[in-house]
Amino acid sequence: MRMFPLTKKGKFAQGLENGRKAATALFEKIHDDRRFLTAFPPELDIVIWAPLSGKASEISIRAKEIFVATVRQNLHLAITTFPKTMLEKTWNINWDQEYVTCLRSCLMKAEHIEWVEHIWQLLDGVIREKY
């Protein structure tokens, strides 16, 4: 707290703001791309999305494949699982299982705002190669 006091427009606040801007920018790119489903806009620095498919089971498989493929490109995402009840009103898919595996990106570093385009290019390249 001494190094980064909680003050408006302070370094800590600027870091949070840049993380949110980065997450919002990445979310917009993903949301506007028909190859993906988005869960909800980021509240802070976490973006949740999944590859588009007609069934929850296929989405889960593809999300895991993309996760592995992005690591090979030095893009380190995470995977997370959501219950059907959280997304069934948002996603018009066949819920052939009670959960779905999604991709997750946490853009918490202030410099992530400068990396959004590079992250997008890596993700886009993986999707083009796989699907």
Rounded Cα–Cα distance for residues 82 and 50 (Å):
11
Contact 110, 49 (CB under 8 A): no
Contact 77, 103 (CB under 8 A): yes
Q: Which tens digits make up the pLDDT trace of 90-123?
A: 999 999 999 999 999 999 887 888 999 999 999 9
Q: Which tens digits make up the pLDDT trace of 6-58?
A: 677 777 778 788 889 999 999 999 999 999 999 899 999 999 999 999 999 99
DSSP designation for 94: B
What is the pLDDT confidence band of residue 2, given thresholds at 50, 70 and 90?
low
Q: CA dist 67 to 26, 63, 79, 92, 101, Å?
A: 16, 6, 7, 23, 11
